[in-house]
Amino acid sequence: MTIRFFKNANQKFFKRSTILLTFILAGLSINGFATQESPQTDIQFIMTADPHYGITRKAFQGASKVDAHLVNAAMISKINALPNVKLPADGGINAGKITGAIDFVVEGGDIANRQEGTPEKSIQCASISWDQFKADYVDGLQIHDRNGKKSPLYVLPGNHDITNAIGFYKPMVPTTDAGAMAGIFNMMMKPTIQKTKDTFKYIEDKVHYSLNMGGIHFMFISLWPDSMERKWMAEDLKSVEKSTPVIVFTHDEPEVESKHFKNPNDNHDINGKDKFENLLADNFSGGKSVDDPTTIEQKSLEAFFYSNPNISAYFHGNDHWKRFRDWTGPDNTIAVHTFGVDSPMKGEVSKDDETKLSFYLVTIDTKSRLMSVRECLWNVDPAKTDSSVAWGDTITVALFPRPMK
C-alpha cells in the first residue's frame, strides 16, 4: 500500500514510501507529567509562526499600514471558526468531514519584532508586543480539544525574541527587553518563581519541552537544534520507544542561518563589524563571516537525525515561506518531512499578496500513522472579512522510523 501524494504549488512531490500500520496505545503527557487518556484515532493541530508584533503590513483588508495586533487578531478569528468548516475533498485524512476538535495550537516564534530604532523612532519594545500577543493568542483563541477543554497553546521563541533579550549590533530601544522571552518561558516551562524581563537569563532559562499524544512524540525546541538542544533532545528521547514517530517544532529551518551562531572571531561578541547574533550555543564553524555557509552545522543536525530515525517530521518558521519538502541533509543520508509556515506579517509571498496568507491544519491518523498537512488560506477575499478559510495545498505523508542504512 502506498501513500497518495498531493502536489504543492511551489515545491516538488514528497517521495513515495510504504505505510507502516502500527497502533500504539499511549497517554498524554507534557514536561514529564502523564495522565492517561482514552486512545484516540486521530490528532489535529494548527501551526503558525512569526506574528511579529510591533510592525505594520503595507496593506490588509482595504487599509494601509495595518498594525500586527489587528492582522493577528483577524487570523485568530478565522482559526476560531475553523472547527465548523468542512475539510476539502482532497483525499487526505478525514477529507470531506467537518474539521472538529483541535488538540493544540503551535506558535513557532518571533512573537515580538526586533525593537530596532532610536529614541526618536523605534519599533515597540518586546514587553508591549508580548501583551498584545497574549490578548490575541492566549485570550483570543476560543477553540477546544476533543475533551471539550480549551485547546492548549504551545509557544516557541524566535530569533527576534531572543535578540530583544540579549542585545543586537544595531541600536534598539530599550537596549534589551526580555519581556517576550520571560513570557514564553513562564508559559511553557512553568517555573516555581516566575521570570520577569529583569530576571530572565537566556543562557540558563531554556525553552524546550515535549508532549506525548496518541502514540506520537512531539518535541518543542528553542530556535534550532544546536549542540545544547540536541543534548536535551537525546535525553528526552531515551524515554521514547524507537517505534514511536517523533515530530519536531522549532523556529529556524534546517538550513540554519550563519548569523544565528556565536561569533567565531576575536572576543566572540555581538558587534556591527562581524554581525553574528550569538543566539545559538555553538561558535560558527563554517568560516569567519555571516556570509559563509552552514554546511558543517547542518551535517551535525543530519547526523543526529540519522541516529534517531524515528524523527519523522520538522515544522518551522523564520524564513516565511510556505513550503512542503523532504530535508535530506548535505550528505543526503536522511529524508525528514519538513514544513515551513507562512507569516501573517512577513510572508515571502503573502506580504505582497494578502490572499496567500495561511496557516496549517495538521491531521494525523494514529492507526495508520499518516499525516495530512493542509494549507488554510484565511484571507482569500479581503473584502469579506467574515468568510471562512479556503483550502490551499495538501500533502499526506507517512510517520514511521526511517530504516538505518
Per-residue pLDDT tens over the stretch 280-316: 999 999 999 999 999 999 999 999 999 999 999 999 9
Query: Angle, nearest 10°, between helix axes 159-166 and 179-189?
Result: 120
Residues 42/93, Cβ–Cβ less than 8 Å: yes
Q: Would 266 be classed as within a structural domain?
A: no
Task: Report the distance separating Cα 280 and Cα 229, nearest Å.
Answer: 9
Q: At what angle do helices 227-237 and 295-307 cross, to 10 degrees?
A: 0
Q: What confidence tier does 345 reach under pLDDT thresholds 50, 70, 90? A: very high
What residue type is assigned to position 102 of the chain? I
Q: In this structure, is residue 135 part of a structural domain?
A: yes
CATH of the domain at 319: 3.60.21.10
Look up cell 519599533; give the residue. Answer: 123
Q: Are 182 and 140 in contact (CB under 8 A)?
A: no
The secondary structure of 273-331 as a DSSP string is TT-----SSSB--S-SSTTS--HHHHHHHHHHHHH-TTEEEEEE-SS---EEEEE-TTT
As a whole number of angstroms, the distance between CA 136 and CA 115 comes to 20
User: What is the model's pLDDT at position 405?
Assistant: 52
pLDDT for position 41: 84
Rg (CA), the chain: 20
Taking residue 253's Cβ as centre, other Cβ atoms within 10 Å add up to 18
The packing angle between helices 126-133 and 159-166, to 10°, is: 140
- Dist. CA 223–CA 240, nearest whole Å: 22
Whether 268 is in a domain gets the answer no
Task: Name the pLDDT band for 404 (thresholds 50, 70, 90).
Answer: low
Q: What whole-number distance in Å separates Cα of residue 17 and Cα of residue 371?
A: 13
| pLDDT score, position 117 | 96
How confident is the model at residue 40, as a pLDDT?
A: 60
Domain membership of residue 220 (yes or no) is yes
**Which three cell numbers mark 298?**
547542518
Residue 19, Cα to own-chain centre: how many angstroms?
Answer: 26
Cell of 289: 563571516
Please say if the pLDDT value at position 10 is more than 90: no
The single-letter DSSP state of residue 386 is T
Residues 286 and 294 sit within 8 Å (Cβ to Cβ): yes
Q: What is the pLDDT of residue 24?
A: 28
Tens of pLDDT along 16-48?
333 332 222 233 344 433 333 445 689 999 999
Whether pLDDT at 14 is above 60: no
Interatomic CA distance for residues 310 and 250, integer angstroms = 17
| pLDDT mean over 233-260 | 97
- Nearest Cα to Cα of residue 166 among 73, 74, 35, 281: 281
Q: Which three cell numbers stand for residue 164?
A: 530583544
Axis crossing angle, helix 68-81 with helix 126-133, rounded to the nearest 10? 20
Q: Confidence band (pLDDT; 50, 70, 90) for 1? A: very low
DSSP code of residue 326? E
Q: How far apart are CA 383 and CA 182, in angstroms?
A: 38
Evaluate if residue 107 carries a pLDDT over 70. Answer: yes
What pLDDT score was predicted for residue 326?
A: 97
Cell numbers placing 199 = 530576571
User: Of 203, 216, 290, whose CA–CA distance to 249 is shortest?
Assistant: 216
CA nearest to 366, candidates 398, 325, 335: 398
pLDDT at residue 84 is higher than 90: yes
Confidence class for position 389, pLDDT limits 50, 70, 90 = very high
Chain mean pLDDT for the chain: 91
Grid cell 548569523 — which residue?
A: 259
Predicted local distance difference test score (pLDDT) of residue 35? 33
Residue 346 in this model has a pLDDT that exceeds 90: yes
**pLDDT-based confidence at residue 403 (cuts at 50, 70, 90):** low
Q: What is the pLDDT of residues 142-197, one digit of tens each?
A: 999 999 999 999 999 999 999 999 999 999 999 999 999 999 999 999 999 999 99
In a domain, 280, yes or no: no
Range of the domain at 81: 43-256+294-398
Section 77-90 average pLDDT: 97
DSSP state of 86: B
User: How deeply is 235 buried, as exposed, middle or buried, from its count of CB atoms within 10 A (0-12, 13-18, 19+)?
Assistant: exposed
The domain tally of the chain equals: 1
Q: Does 81 reside within a domain?
A: yes
What are the CA-CA distances from residue 77 to residues 22, 143, 385, 386, 389 (Å)? 37, 10, 10, 9, 10
> For residue 104, is pLDDT > 50?
yes
pLDDT tens digit sequence for 43-62: 999 999 999 999 999 999 99
User: Residue 121 burial (CB < 10 Å; 0-12/13-18/19+)?
Assistant: exposed
Peptide bond into 174 cis (omega under 30): yes
58 lies in a domain?
Answer: yes
What pLDDT is recorded for position 177?
98
Residue 12 lies in a domain: no
